[in-house]
Amino acid sequence: MRKARRSKVGALAGNLHRALLAIALAVVATSAGATADAAAPAKPVIVVLGDSLSAEYGLPRDSGWVALLRRRLANERIDYSVANASISGDTTSGGRARLPELISRLKPSIVIVELGANDALRGVPLSTTEDNLRTIVKDAQQSKAKVVLVGMYVPANYGPAYTEQFHRIYGSLAKELDVRLVPFLLAGIENKPDMFQSDQMHPTEQAQPVLLDNVWPVLAPLLQRRQVR
């Protein structure tokens, strides 16, 4: 009787030992998985630093060219996240002030700079606009981010001389600082009134794919093709 009881106790002890061992192994496996997940590299980040042309002014949510960029990257299985840091009405001074915090927080691999139109609308001196854009690009480069500079024209009523001088800033800086240039964000729709909202300044939803197609050929060569599995 005692022998049978000891045998039963021994069996229970063995079962308990095996159960504890299984739990311990499960914990180790879970911990290893968590460590592996934590060690997995984060997606590289594209930051779009822009104004209303990139901030979906007057458009349905997630229909602007930046949202379309995010969708294209996903469709082509290119593993990037896109942070739209655009604010309607922003100037190059505003972008210059905001960029350091964005770099610190998001650590972007690529910065797309789409600013300057509001400077012209507000009569900001061309030298100030140029200096601000130069600082923005240099700050991004100092953080090891690649830069895409997006060029703009201003309305013809500003006069041909001013219009040309304003636009020349972008090409000059792109050459000086060795960054890629989108010559004109609104290329292809600039003479199509039906592609603009009632203010004739902001593109419609239907125009957004054109804007993306203007940016994409310049951006695409900078992307690391680390595809999503």
- Per-residue model confidence as pLDDT tens digits over 179-197: 999 999 999 999 999 999 9
199 tagged catalytic: yes
- The tokens describing 48, both together, are 């779009």
The pTM for the full model equals: 0.82
Would you identify the CATH topology of the domain 42-222? Rossmann fold (3.40.50)
Among residues 37, 127, 194, 199, the one annotated as catalytic is 199
Instruction: Dig out the tokens for 168 from the structure.
Output: 């020349």
CA-CA distance, 103 to 60, in Å (whole number)? 28
**107-157: per-residue pLDDT in tens?**
999 999 999 999 999 999 999 999 999 999 999 999 999 999 999 998 888
Catalytic residue among 51, 52, 119, 167: 52
CA-based R_g, the chain, Å: 27
Give 18-62 pLDDT, tens digit per residue.
Answer: 543 343 334 333 333 433 334 446 899 999 999 999 999 999 999
In contact, 93 and 102? CB cutoff 8 Å = no
Active site residue 17: no
Choosing from 143, 172, 202, 213, the catalytic residue is: 202
Over the range 134-145, which residues count as b (16 or more CB within 10 Å of their CB) and which as e? bebbebbeebeb
Burial class (CB in 10 A: 0-12, 13-18, 19+), 40: exposed
The verdict on whether 79 is a catalytic residue reads: no
Kindly report, residue by residue over 68-110, the tens digit of the pLDDT: 999 999 999 999 999 999 999 999 999 999 999 999 999 999 9
Question: Measured in whole angstroms, how far is the alpha carbon of residue 173 from the centre of its chain?
Answer: 21
Token couple for 160: 């041909």
